[in-house]
Structures are given as structure tokens and as C-alpha cells.
Amino acid sequence: MKYDSEYYTLEESGDSTSYMLNQIEGSDDGLERLMSLFPIHRKVLGPGRVGISEGNRAKFQPCDYHETAEQLVSEKFRQVLAPFNLPGVDFYQTNIVNGDKIWSEHYYMHIWNHHQAIHKKRSEILGTYVDDRFTLLKLSLDEKVLDQVPLEKRLVFTLEEKPVFLFHESVVAALRAADLSGLGFRRVDSWSIGSAFEDDDDDFYDDL
């Protein structure tokens, strides 16, 4: 269980939760595969485009993080991660479009560094681990797997079994220090499928 207190999930917080953003017409076709576990840089030929599908458009201002299927982050967020030289993490320039306003300093963050790191006995699921046909209810990380991976190769990764993105505490500390908007973190040992709806967790940091 040693890694359950070292890793965090990334969640929306503050103003970011008031909006839902999605890809719109004109977004590069190659970005449709962004959730895959493999590098796709050769398939992306142009910028992404996202628009507001829910929320007050008149009051909208971009945050440093918006939780879309593609994990939308700002240039400021990207610059915080740059010194870590993260393997298997790519950024694709993406425009946020709201009427005649366009914000161009945002990126889809594609994490294709993956490890099969769910501890099957301590985690809780609904379904079966066979062919990964399950819903993850509660997560615990397998130390036998992660002990074999050098820290620099698992600072940020996604679970191979499910698209859950995990950030090491050292990366979280850097993001917290950067005064970014629209994001919070929840430690793995406090995470569950319903934890995103809780706001009283000591391990959750609002509007870092």
C-alpha cells in the first residue's frame, strides 16, 4: 500500500466545474484517438478546437485545467511539467472557442505512459478483471509492479487497465506551487468512484 499515499488523481475544481467543454467542428481528426495508449503525434496535423457545451458563455474565462476526455491544460500547466521530462506525455495545441473569442494557449494532454498497476486484491471493482470488463470503485496500487519501474518513468502515468491518470507527489507539489486554477488532487488512498462529489476530504486541494 506504500504507493497509495504517494500518487494522486487530477480533478476539476472551482470555476472549471461550472463548464463542460467538448471538441467541435474543425478540430483535427487525429485527436479523436487521444485516449489510446499509444503515441499519436504522426496522426495529428493541426490544432484541436473545443467549445462550451454547458455553462454561462458570457462569463467564461479559461482555467488552467478543464476535465474533458482529453484533459485540457494551459501553457502555464505545461511549463510546470516540462522540467520533469516526462516519458509518454504529449501536448497538442488546442483552441478554446467561445463565439468570436479564441484562446490558443491551451493543450490536450495525452498520457500514454502506462503501467498495469492495479492491486487486484486490495482494489474494489464492479465486474471482472478478465479482459478489463469492470468499473473501478476503489483503487490500490500494486507495489510489486511499481517497484520495478524507476521513479522518473512513473512520475505521471495512466493505468493500463483503465484510463485513470496518476501523478506522483513530487509533480503534485510543483503544480500546487504554480498557483494554477481549476484543478485539485485526491490521493489514491482517499479516492473512490464517488469521491469527486465530496468536498470535505483533507487530501483534496481546491484551486491550487
pLDDT tens per residue, range 67-116? 987 899 999 999 999 999 999 999 999 999 999 999 999 999 999 999 99
- Is residue 61 within 8 A of residue 19, CB to CB? The reply is no
Nearest to 3 by CA among 178, 114, 143: 143
pLDDT at 73: 98
Segments of the chain with pLDDT less than 70: 194-208
DSSP 56-91: -GGG----SEE-STT-EEEHHHHHHHGGG--TTEEE
pLDDT at 205: 44
Cα of 166 vs its chain's centroid, Å: 8
Cα atoms in the 13 Å half-sphere on the side-chain side of 23: 18
- Is residue 19 within 8 A of residue 68, CB to CB? The reply is no
- Is residue 114 within 8 A of residue 160, CB to CB? The reply is yes
CA distance 67 to 89: 17
pLDDT at 37: 82
CA distance 33 to 45: 13
pTM score, whole prediction = 0.89
In degrees and rounded to multiples of 5, residue 33 shows phi and psi of -100, 15
